[in-house]
Structures are given as C-alpha cells and as structure tokens.
Amino acid sequence: MKKQMFLLVAVLAVLAMVAAQCGGSAPKPTEAKKESPKEEVKKEEVKPVASGHKYAQVTDTGGVDDKGFNQLAWGGMKLAQEKLGVEVKVLESKQQTDYEKNINELVNQKYDGIVTVGFLLADATKAASLANPNLKIAIVDFPSQTPTDMGLLFSVDQPSFEAGYLAAALSKSGTVCTFGGIKIPPVTAFMVGFESGVNYYNEKKSGKIKLLGWKTDGTKEGGGEGSFTGNFENLDDGRNYAEGFFDEGCDIIMPVAGPVGLGSAAAAKDRGFKIIGVDSDGFVTAPEYKSIYLTSALKNIDVAVFSAVEQMEKGTFKGGTNYVGTLQNGGVGLASFHDNASMVSKELQDELKAIEKGIIDGSVSTGWPVK
C-alpha cells in the first residue's frame, strides 16, 4: 500500500513536471512574457499611476543582496517603482558570461531601460550600447563609454572633505589617519578629500592636526603618496594598518578599502577609537561595530539609480553623459552620526553645513582632481 502510494505520487509528480514544461513551451516566449508581468501589475495596482514601462537592473557576480553596490542600486530601482509607477526587475549574474546574456535577455524582452552595476559590467554595457543605439542604459560607478549610454559617478571627495574636517575637529590626540586598498582614482579621491578637509580645519582654526596615510603631491604618480594594503579583501591588513597608525597616535581613521575596513573597525573597537566609513553607512552595514562609526562618506547609489530611471522615464535621458552625484543633488553625502551625535556640537554641525554650502557653490575646493 505504502509502496503504491509512493509510486503514485512519484508518477503524478513526473507527469506534472512534463506537463509544466510542455505547457510553458507551447506559447511563444513573447506571449509567455506578457502573462507574468500582467499578474504583477495586478498585485501592484495599489500604486499610483502604473506607467506600464519596465526597467531592470543587472547585478555583477556579487548578487542583489551583497550589502553593497548591487543592493543599494536595487534600492534605487524599488524607489522608482514606488514613485514613478514603473515595473522593475533584477537579473543576477552568476559568472562573467552572464553579463552579456542578461543584458541581451532584457533587450529582447523590450525593457524600456537598463541599469548595470559596477566596472565588471563595463565591457558588456559598452557592447550592448553599441549594438542597440536606441537602448537606454546606465552603468553605476563607471563613466559613459558610448554616445548612447550614461555613466553614474560620484564626487566622493566632497563628503570626504566634510569627514576630514569633522575628524580634525574631534581628534583628541591631534592625529587622524587614512589608508587605501589600491592606489586607483576611485580610492584616492576619498583620501584627497579627507586631507583637504583636515587642512581646511587647520587653516580655519589655526590647528595643528596631523594626517597620516596620505599626502597629496601633484608631481607624484597617482597624485600623491600614501599607505595602501594592496587589496580589498584582507581584514588582517585592515587591523594591522590601523594598529600601526594607532601606535603613532592616531585616534580617528578612515580606511578606503572596502571590507578591509572591518579589520580596522575591530582594532578601533579594542582601543576605544573611532572610524569613518566609506561608500555605505557603516553603522547600518556593520552593526557589530555601530557605535565605533563616527560617520561615513556616502555614495548614494540608490539616489543616482533613481535619477537615471527617472530621466529614462521622463524622456530627459541623454546618452554620452555622466550623472555626477554631488552634495547638491544628494548623490553623495555624510551619514548621520547615530550613537555619536552627542560628540558633535551644534557649532560643529553649523560649520559642516557652511562647508557643504561652500563646496556646492564652489567657494571651498576639495582638492580633487589633483592638479
């Protein structure tokens, strides 16, 4: 009896599978794709005006829940869904071959616009843009490469400048420090901004705050000299570099090296020092160290992605240009002080606001790009 039941269930299940496959293959792909979006629209009908337009994001191999760029970008897509009434979708890439395949899949399904994330997709984005001149495509964290694609870039030197000023104002030992992962412009931009912020503080307050780990020098290759771990992975390096700087008297550190910074956060926690995060809000992304994070210099990728989709939707999208996230448009910014808000006096907050205004109107220079 039991045996027969088993067989019956197995056979039924197999039949179901076969039927499912046949059923799916009978309508042409174009028809099949019409079906499911409709269902989704139904579910989302509570939303304001459904425009019926479809936008999609293609992730790199990190996947959509990478607690990083891909996730932030997806946040921007979802914001677009909410505010613009468009339909959004994400395709995750498992390996390098998937980039081109995923983009083509979306092109063939006549998506109204595509957002790709990160330099890993740069070549695939360029190829797709050249092959489909009418395609609206934007790439996060990479400049425009063709007359029809858009780059989403971030002036990270601006929030770093504020972070530098803040660190200088709050340092008890009189020494702050920074180090980078690899000496490439996306990293050094943070360090240059940070240094300029410290210098600006010294200038304004005739202070003598020392910065370790970076020295801008236009005559040097890469715009200056500084400390670099040579990778973006090794947490031990993050700890070792931080310990080294702490031994030299530094009490606030800004590591610009991705996850390496978590090693520095651990060291700062042990010693009772503070750290400044980069890219995303360390208080949120690394909750085990939350009160160690004084603040973070943010790349608001969600804001940039939303802006790109909004431009595509409203017909103001212009290929061959770059969206540049600034303090003015909210594409970059300084994170909230969270647990450390009591350390930042009202006076200091006003100074930071004045600096922000100065950077926006151009009266304060962040020193980037290095001349």
Partner 1 sequence: MTTDEKITPSQNGLSSIIKQTFDLVLIPFLAVVTALIIGGFIIVVTDAAVYTAFGEGGIGGGLAAIWTSVSVAYGSMFSGSLGSARDISESLVASTPYIFAGLAVAVGFRGGMFNIGVEGQLLLAVMASVYVGSNFSLPWIIHLPLTILAGMVAGAAWAALAGYLKAKTGAHEVINTIMMNYIVYLFSDWALNGFLCRTPCSSPVSPPVLESAFLPQFFYRLHFGFFLALIVAFAVWWLLFKTTIGFEIRTVGTNPNAARYGGIQTTKVMVLTMAISGALAGLAGASELLGVNRVLAAGFSSGYGFDAIALALLGRSHPLGVVLAALLFGTLRSGATRMQSLANIPTDIISIIQALVIVFIAAPAIIRWIYRIKAKGAEEGGGVMVQGWGS
Please give the C-alpha separations between residue 368 and each of 5, 155, 159, 188, 297, in angstroms, as whole numbers.
73, 9, 12, 9, 15
Smallest separation (angstroms) from partner 1 to the CB of 313 = 20
Closer by beta carbon to partner 1, 2 or else 371? 2
6 near partner 1, judged by CB under 8 A: yes
Say which amino acid occupies 277: G
Closer by beta carbon to partner 1, 61 or else 326? 61
369 near partner 1, judged by CB under 8 A: no
101 near partner 1, judged by CB under 8 A: yes
What element of type H or E holds 20?
A: helix 2-25
16 near partner 1, judged by CB under 8 A: yes
8 near partner 1, judged by CB under 8 A: no
Closer by beta carbon to partner 1, 95 or else 206? 95
DSSP 228: B
CA–CA distance, 328 with 361 (Å, rounded to integer): 9
Q: How many other CB atoms are there within 10 angstroms of residue 79's CB atom? A: 18
Q: Which of 20, 131, 341, 343 binds partner 1 (CB under 8 A)?
A: 20
Smallest separation (angstroms) from partner 1 to the CB of 216 = 19
Give the alpha-carbon dihedral of 228, 210, 369, 308, to 10 degrees.
80
Nearest alpha carbon to residue 365 among 204, 196, 237: 196
Q: Site size for partner 1, by CB under 8 A?
A: 54
Query: Are the C-beta atoms of 192 and 366 separated by less than 8 Å?
Result: yes
100 near partner 1, judged by CB under 8 A: yes
231 near partner 1, judged by CB under 8 A: yes
Smallest separation (angstroms) from partner 1 to the CB of 127 = 10
Q: 168 to 207, contacts with partner 1 by CB under 8 A?
A: 182, 184-186
Q: Which of 51, 52, 67, 233 binds partner 1 (CB under 8 A)?
A: 233
Q: 263 to 292, contacts with partner 1 by CB under 8 A?
A: none
120 near partner 1, judged by CB under 8 A: yes
Sketch the per residue contact string, 327 through 356, with partner 1: x for CB under 8 A, - otherwise.
------------------------------
Q: What is the DSSP string of 301-365?
A: HHHHHHHHHHHHHHT---TT-EEEE-TTTTSEEEPP-GGGGGGS-HHHHHHHHHHHHHHHHTSS-
| Contacts (Cβ under 8 Å, ≥6 apart) of 297 | 156, 159, 160, 162, 163, 190, 193, 194, 254, 276, 277, 278, 279, 332, 334, 335
10 near partner 1, judged by CB under 8 A: yes
Q: Which of 8, 67, 123, 363 binds partner 1 (CB under 8 A)?
A: 123
145 near partner 1, judged by CB under 8 A: no
198: which 2 tokens? 């410290």
CA–CA distance, 187 with 176 (Å, rounded to integer): 18
Q: How many other CB atoms are there within 10 angstroms of residue 290's CB atom? A: 16
13 near partner 1, judged by CB under 8 A: yes
Q: Which of 75, 78, 85, 109 binds partner 1 (CB under 8 A)?
A: 109
Smallest separation (angstroms) from partner 1 to the CB of 92 = 6
β-bridge partners, 84: none
Closer by beta carbon to partner 1, 182 or else 284? 182
- Tell me: cis bond preceding 369? Omega within 30 of 0 counts: yes
Question: Which parts of this chain interact with partner 1 (CB under 8 A)?
Answer: 3, 6-7, 10, 13-14, 16-17, 19-21, 23-25, 28-29, 32-33, 35-36, 43, 56, 60-62, 89, 91-98, 100-102, 104-106, 108-109, 119-120, 122-123, 142, 182, 184-186, 230-231, 233
